Chain A
Amino acid sequence: MGIEISNVSKYFGDFAALDGIDLKIPDGELTALLGPSGSGKTTLLRIIAGLETPDQGSIRFFGEDATQKRTRDRKVGFVFQHYALFKHMTIFENIAFGLRIRPRKSRPDKETIRAKVERLLDMVQLNGMARRFPSELSGGQKQRVALARALAVEPKVLLLDEPFGALDAKVRQELRRWLRYLHDELHITSVFVTHDQEEALEVSDRIVILNKGGIEQIGTPEEVYDNPVNPFVYGFLGNVNLFHARFEEGVLSLRHREKDDGDPTLFIRPHDISIAPDNADGKGIAARVLTHKVLGNRVRVTLKTLEGDREAEAEIGKKEWNALKGNDLDAIYLRILEAKIYAPNETWSDYVI
C-alpha cells in the first residue's frame, strides 16, 4: 500500500475540516480527491505533505509511519495551484533547487545536475527555456516547470493541489492529458485535488469523493459514475433532474405534485432523457419545449410536462435535435431511459404519469 491514512481529523476552531478519515492510496496509482470547496480535500492533501498537522490520526508512507515527519523529510513532490515558483531564479535554477540544497554527501555533482535538469526540461517540453525567468512563461508552462521541479528530487509521492485550476480551458485540457500520459510513463504514486468532476473522471485511476470533511465514496471513475452511492455523489458527478414520485400498486407514479414523507425521489441525468415527436410505445410523457441551448454537438433542452407542470432538462445529440425541431415543439414526448432512487428497500419496474 502506498499511503495509509487512518482516523485523521483536523479542526479549525469548531469547524471540522476533516473528520476521522480512513483512506488507503494504492502504490503507483493516480488518485483524485474530488469534492466541493470546504470539503476538506486540500487540507487532506496538505496533511499528507506534512504542511498541516492532523489533530488526530496517523499517516503511513509505504508501511512506515510518517505522522511526525517534517515536510522536508517526507520525500513528497508538491505542485501548487498558483505554481509557487522561485521568481528570482531561472527555470534551470528552479528545477535544480531540490538537488543543489542537498547536503554535500548526497548532492550530485554539477554535471549530473545539469544533465538531469536538461532531461526534465525535455520531459515537460520546455527545452531552450532553461535561462528564462518564471515571469516570462505562460501559466501552463509555469505549471510544467513546477512539476519538473517537484520530480527532480525523485519523490516517492507526487501531490498536486488543483494543478490546473488557474489555467484556461484549452490549456487545462492539454495538461490533463499530458499528466495522465506522464503518469503512465513514471507510475509514481500520485494524489491530486480537484473540484472539477470531469477532470477527476478523465485523469484518475481512482476517485475519492469528499464532502464536509468525510469520504462519501471511493472507486474507479466508472464505478463512481455508474453507481453513485448517495444523492450527494450523484449530484456532484453531473447534472441531475429530480422528480418526486409515489408507488401506486407496484407502479411508480409521477402524477402527484405534493411530496409526502416516504415518497422516493428519482434522480435522472439529462442525457438519460430522450425526446420524440410521437408516443409510439405509449411510455412517453407529454411535454413541451421551453428553451434550448446548443452546446457544440450537444443540445440542452428545457422541457415542461403538460400534466403536472414539472420542469426537466434533457441533453440530446445535435442530430436528434435537428430531426426534432421541425415538429410541433409544444407537443412532444419525453422518455426516461434510466433513473436512480435512493430510498431503502424499494424497487420499481415501470412508471406512469
Chain B
Amino acid sequence: MPNGTFRLRRNRSQLPGFGLTLGLSVAYMSLLILVPLGALVLFSMNLSPREFWRVVSDSRVLAAFRVSFGSTFLAATIDMFFGFVIAWVLARYRFFGKRLVDAIIDLPFAIPTAVTGIALATLFSPKGLVGGQLAALSAWINARFGVNVSLDIAFSGTGIVAALMFIGIPFIVRTVQPVLEELDKEVEEAASSLGANFHQIFLRVIFPSILPALLTGFALAFARGLGEYGSVIFISSNAPYESEIVPLLIVMKLGEFNYEGASAIGVSMLACSFLLLLAINFLQAFARNRRKA
C-alpha cells in the first residue's frame, strides 16, 4: 500500500463529520455571539477615541465599574466557598430531603431575576422579616457600644452582593459536585494508609483535584454576576458613585437616547470581562496541566 494513502486513513477519526460540525459551530457562534458583539463595537466607533475616552473615564462610570466588578468578585468568592460546601454535602452524604435540596440549588437559574430582586428587597428592607431584625440589632449596638454600625442589606452595596450570591451559587455547585462525586475513594484511603490525616488529605489530594472545576464555577458565576441587572436594581439603592452598577448606567444612557455612550460603556465592559475570563481560563489550564502534563 502506498504510504500516503495509509497515513490519510489512519488520521481519520471513527466518527466522520469534523468539517460539518466545525462549520456549524463557527456559523452558530458567529450569528449568536460574534455578529451582535461586533455590531456593538462598530457602533461605539461612531465616537471619536477622545469622546470614547471621555465617556468611559467619567467618574460616575468608573465608580459603577468599581461597584460592578468589586461586588461581583466578592459575591463569586463567597459563593465559591459555600458552593463548595454544598457540593461536598450533596456528593458525600446521604440524608433525608437530599433530592429536594438538590433541586432547590437550580432555582436561581429558573426564577425571573426581577422576582429575586423584589423578594430579597422585601426580606431585607428595614421593615422586612430579616431587615427589621438587623435594623434593631444595629440600633442596639449603637446604643450599647456607641459604635455606629449599619447592618442594612437592602438599598446598599451589601444588597448587591447578596443578590449576586443568590444568582451565582448554582454555577459553583453544579460544576464542583460531579467532580467530587467522581473522586476515587481509594485515593483517599491510599493517602490515609501513608499516614495522612483528614486535613492533609483534603489539602493535598482532594483540593488539587477539584481546583479546575472550582475555577470554572467561579468564572461562570463571575460572568453571570457582571451581566446581572434585574435582581440588583431592585435591592440596590442605585445611588450614583455608591451602589450603581454598570448595566444600570447603560440602561440610563439608553433612556437618554445616548446610544453611543451606552455602546462605549458596553464595549469597555466587554473588554474587561473578556480579559478577566481569559485570565481565569489560563489559571484553569495551569491547574489542569499539572495533572495531565
Residues of A in contact with B (beta carbons under 8 Å apart): 49, 51, 70-78, 80, 82, 84-88, 90, 97-98, 101-102, 132-133, 135-136, 146, 149-150, 152-153
Contacts and interface: CB of A to CB of B under 8 A. Distances in A.
B186 A84 contact: yes
Contacts of B196: 72, 97-98, 101
Contact of A77 (B191, B193, B209): B193
Interface in B20-75: none
A98 B195 contact: yes
Contact of B193 (A71, A85, A132, A136): A71
Nearest to A135: B292
Nearest to B186: A84
Contact of A84 (B187, B204, B290): B187
10 contacts: A51-B189, A70-B192, A72-B194, A78-B193, A88-B209, A98-B196, A101-B196, A101-B200, A136-B293, A149-B190
B176 to A, nearest CB: 16
Task: Tell me which of B184, B187, B194 has the highest count of chain A C-beta atoms within 10 A of its own C-beta.
Answer: B194
Contact of B194 (A80, A98, A132): A98
Given A97-B204, A136-B293, A153-B195, A84 B209 contact: no
B195 A82 contact: no
A85 B189 CA distance: 11
Given A72-B192, A101-B195, A150-B193, A82 B186 contact: yes
Given A88-B290, A97-B204, A72 B186 contact: no
B277 interface: no
A80 B200 contact: no
Contacts of A78: 189-190, 193
A86 B187 contact: yes
B41 to A, nearest CB: 40
> What are the 6 closest A-B residue pairs judged by CB atoms, nearest first?
A98-B194, A84-B186, A78-B193, A84-B190, A88-B291, A88-B208
B10 to A, nearest CB: 22
B197 interface: yes
Interface of B: 184, 186-187, 189-197, 200, 204-205, 208-209, 290-293
Nearest to A46: B189
A84 B192 contact: no
A204 to B, nearest CB: 21
Contacts of A88: 208-209, 290-291
A94 to B, nearest CB: 9
Contacts of B195: 72-73, 75, 98, 101-102, 153
Contacts of A77: 193
A149 B196 CA distance: 13
A165 B265 CA distance: 62
A124 to B, nearest CB: 16
B100 to A, nearest CB: 26
Nearest to A131: B293
Nearest to B208: A88
A72 B197 contact: yes
Nearest to A80: B186
Nearest to A134: B291
Task: Tell me which of A70, A101, A146, A152 has the highest count of chain B C-beta atoms within 10 A of its own C-beta.
Answer: A101
A214 B204 CA distance: 39
A86 B190 CA distance: 9
Contacts of A133: 291-293
A87 B291 CA distance: 6
B293 A76 contact: no
Contacts of A135: 291-293
Contacts of A70: 192
B189 A84 contact: yes
A133 B289 CA distance: 10
Task: Tell me which of A51, A75, A146 has the highest count of chain B C-beta atoms within 10 A of its own C-beta.
Answer: A51
A77 B191 CA distance: 10
B209 A149 contact: no
A313 to B, nearest CB: 39
Nearest to A97: B194
B37 to A, nearest CB: 36
A87 B193 contact: no
B206 to A, nearest CB: 10
Nearest to A82: B186
Contacts of A98: 194-196
Nearest to B189: A51
Contacts of B186: 80, 82, 84
Contacts of A102: 195
Nearest to B198: A72
A86 B196 CA distance: 13
B191 A97 contact: yes
A26 to B, nearest CB: 22
A234 B102 CA distance: 52
